[in-house]
Structure formats: structure tokens, C-alpha cells
Amino acid sequence: MKLLLAFIIAASIIYADVLCKPVDEETKFILLEEGDMAPTVLDCEYNLDDTESFHTLKWFRNDKAIYQWIRGSQPAPIPDFKNYVDSSYESSKDPNKQYSSLALINPTISSTGDYKCIVQTQTKTIVVHKSVQVIDVRNYTLSLKRYQIQNETQLECKVSNVFPKPKLTIESEGIDITKVLTNPPKEDEDGYFNATTFAAVYDNDDDTDYHKCIMTFDGYPQNFTVVVASGSSACERCIDFRLLLISCLLYFWLERLHVFI
């Protein structure tokens, strides 16, 4: 029992000066755009006593160091990341926090990841976690096609060249979807995704119906939608088997009469 108590006390002494804050629940999304973009700023929240005039700060992405700052000196991004971090960005007039934030520039899909800020003083260590998710739809295509087979409308939704992994959902206004088939998104060699989903609805009237395919990304509030209409005058490719049967019988009859040479 004494040995266990001694171990607990020793562990408490070792970890007493390490303050680890929980992961930021709100992921920061970066929607890539053509041309110049404003920096995406990740703040490192911490408080230091006035006596703690010396400290170092480091930022990591997926546990790989990308930026560091020593109080009283100029900050410096790690060489591999110098084109992706604005080291001149000042987050505060407080000398203890002047260059504490991480200003991300020229983001790519590789900017997605778990970020960590570690502040070290002579007496304690503070760890702050952040999460970043990049969305890239600059060159994507999203389409919804419909095929009419008698009273069944078949819908095919496709998306290509998006990041991250998308989710496709087909909805039909006022009509129950009877079948759904979704293929897992496929990642290409550049890290972008393509996906396809199918659905079928039963349609027994000639009224115009509206179908839509919705593309979403996990946690991202905005969605991307394409709509197609169906009905007597809005079919992309319809097949009426009665007309097809009549055409076949007519062709067979004309052939028997040697109308075709």
C-alpha cells in the first residue's frame, strides 16, 4: 500500500506542471478558392504569470513541427513549411503572445490535420489542440441523371474531383425512394475523391416531379445540390416498352413483306 501511495505522489509531481487543454470541438474549415486567400489563423490560448518572461512556443501538424517562436525573438517556420506559414503575423500586443498564433497561407488539401501548440516555460508546459479540415471543390463536377423504365424512375448521381471524402444523398419531392445503392467513394492518386450513388422511385403519374442529389462533407454546414425534373416533358432518357414492342412487331411484319432490301 505504501509503495502504491509513493508511486501516485511521484506521478503527481511529474505531471503537475503539464496543462493539456482538450481538442477544440469546432473544426476550422478552409474552403479553397482561386487566387489569393486570407490567412487562416489558429490561436493558441494560454496565460502566463508576469514572472514567466521566458518561454518557447511550437506548432505541430500531425505531430510534425511546422513553426516555433521564442519570446523576445522573431518567429521562424520550419523550412519545409516556410511557404505555408505567415511568420510575420502578430496575434497580440502582449509580449507573451505576440507571435503565438499560426497563420496558414497557400493552403492545400495537405493542410488538413490535427494541430497542436506547445508552450514551455521554466515551470510548466501548456498544450493546446486544434483541428483543420480543407474543402476543395474548385474543379469538381456534380451530376444527376434519370432514366424512366415504365413506372420506375432510376436516378444516378455522380461527383468527381472533390476533397475530402463526400457523402451523396438522393431525395425525391413527395415520392418514396424504393431502392438505394451507394458505392464507397474512391480516392485517386492525387488524394481527391469520386463517388456514385443510385436510387429508384415508383412514379405512376405524368406530373412533374423534382429529384435532387445533395453532396455533403462531414461537419461542414454548407451542402452542394443538383436538381432534375421528371414528368411528361422533362425526361432525359425515357423508354416506353409498349412503343418498343409495337416498333419491333412493325419491323418484323415489314420484313416478312420484303419491304426492306
Mean pLDDT of 191-220: 90
**How deeply is 78 buried, as exposed, middle or buried, from its count of CB atoms within 10 A (0-12, 13-18, 19+)?**
middle
What's the CA gap between 106 and 209, in Å, rounded? Answer: 44
Cα separation, 184 vs 38, in Å, equals: 34
125-135 and 28-31 strand pairing: parallel
pLDDT, position 209: 82
- pLDDT, tens digit (0-9, with 9 covering 90-100), for 103-148: 999 999 999 999 999 999 988 999 999 999 999 999 999 999 999 8
Grade residue 176 by pLDDT with cuts at 50, 70 and 90: confident
Beta strands of 33-112 (E only): which ranges? 40-42, 56-61, 64-70, 76-77, 102-104
Q: Residue 2 pLDDT more than 60? A: no
pLDDT at 89 (0 to 100)? 97
Predicted pLDDT of residue 205: 67
Q: What is the pLDDT of residue 256?
A: 63
Q: What angle do CA 86, 124, 81 make, to 5 degrees?
A: 20
Digit-coded pLDDT (tens) for 54-89: 899 999 999 999 999 999 999 999 999 999 999 999
pLDDT tens for residues 4-49?
334 333 333 333 454 555 445 579 999 999 988 999 999 999 988 7
| Residue of higher predicted confidence among 120 and 152 | 120
Q: What percent of the chain has pLDDT over 90?
A: 61
pLDDT of residue 229: 84
Which pLDDT does position 133 carry in this prediction? 98
Question: Which of 144, 159, 161 is closest to 199 using CA atoms?
Answer: 144
Task: List, by residue range, all CATH 2.60.40.10 domains of the chain.
Answer: 18-135, 141-243
**Mean residue pLDDT across the chain:** 83
CATH topology of domain 18-135: Immunoglobulin-like (2.60.40)
Q: What pLDDT sits at residue 61?
A: 98
Residue 49: per-residue pLDDT = 79
**141-243 CATH:** 2.60.40.10
